[in-house]
Structure 1
């Protein structure tokens, strides 16, 4: 394990940092996932080069906007410039299968860019499952107001995974005035996820933005 991850110990916490080999391994995993997407595209007539290209573009936009942090919390989590929205767009455009695949890839990229790892289980909850959940937006890809509904579903499930991670692995940081790791995790994760979700829903509910997004989806489909 030390070959891929280094343990950092200080007075207050133990965290893990990826080694060069660890970064290479994660990049390899992302390449494998992207290759799987390409193979699916060849076998499934419903999935094509345009779908892969627009999905990659959405992931790139999500990565860029995730670096623009309006609010950043001390133990991970931040309000970004609508980064979750770009990932949920993939599911809205192309359905659950592609949405989850690309969302998991995005989670791996977030591990590469800004890792906060305590152990393997927390890593999966916070990066693979939580970000991968955003791909569930595809559940409502074919219904009226599907983008808002899908976005909210993805964000709610992401919150659940982030909450579980906070409750299980970050309970030691619960302030005394909360007196409950459960409530602290709800408040901590709900604060940044809820604020970004509220701002995003307000944006995509605006008639001009909504009309433009529907036009783009109709063009792709």
Structure 2
């Protein structure tokens, strides 16, 4: 476990603020929530990849709480907790390989993309469950699982692609920054 330092906390605050700012720039917004943004998850994913699982989950959950406060879709307390602090907390899964990614100094793109995939997949599962449990009436005659899967994919797959491409390009120079 990495020691929590002032530098880590300051970097977390900056990354959370940057994520909030980027989340306001929407390329596409789905009708019942969710959007493709200007890479709003990238700062949290990057922070998790640099500092590890625990700090990443904490930063992601904090980002989720801030998004909730700044205008989240709240239909019930359980839904709000599942779709904001828990879902965005899963972005911290990008820190699962932080030690091995850090030691390669930018050479292991497979682990970078896998980390991003795991993080966004965790978030996807939370939104998928919320879609089935809380928003199944929007599915009409369609199976709620299929409807929710397609709906969540419509914005999280493009977010994954953008995040994976950008982080693969910027990881090598970023990994040189001393912690």
Task: Tell me whether the two structures share a fold, i.e. TM-score over 0.5.
Answer: yes
Instruction: For residue 196 of structure 1, report the CA deviation from its aligned partner.
Output: 1.1
Aligned pair count reads 171
5 Å matches for 1:1-221?
46-144=3-101, 145=108, 146-176=111-141, 179-206=142-169, 209-216=170-177, 219-220=178-179
Separation in structure 2 between the aligned mates of residue 121 and residue 114 of structure 1, nearest angstrom: 16
TM-aligned CA deviation for residue 97 of structure 1: 1.2
CA displacement at 1:64 relative to structure 2:
0.3
Mark the CA change 1:45 to 1:71 in structure 2 (over 3 Å): closer, same or farther. closer
Q: Aligned equivalents of 1:45 and 1:68: distance in 2?
A: 33
Question: SS of the counterpart of 1:151?
Answer: helix
- How many Å separate the matches in 1 of 2:160 and 2:9? 26
Aligned residue for 1:211, secondary structure, equals: helix
Q: CA deviation at 1:175?
A: 4.3
Question: Which runs of no fewer than 5 residues in structure 2 stay unpaired?
Answer: 102-107
Higher relative contact order (CA 8 A, sep 6+): 2
The residue matched to 2:176 in structure 1 has which SS? helix
Separation (CA, whole Å) in 1 of partners of 2:162 and 2:10: 27
* Structure-2 separation of matches of 1:71 and 1:121: 26
Structure 2-normalised TM-score? Answer: 0.89
Unaligned regions of 5+ residues in structure 1, if any? 1-43
Length-normalised TM-score, structure 1 = 0.73
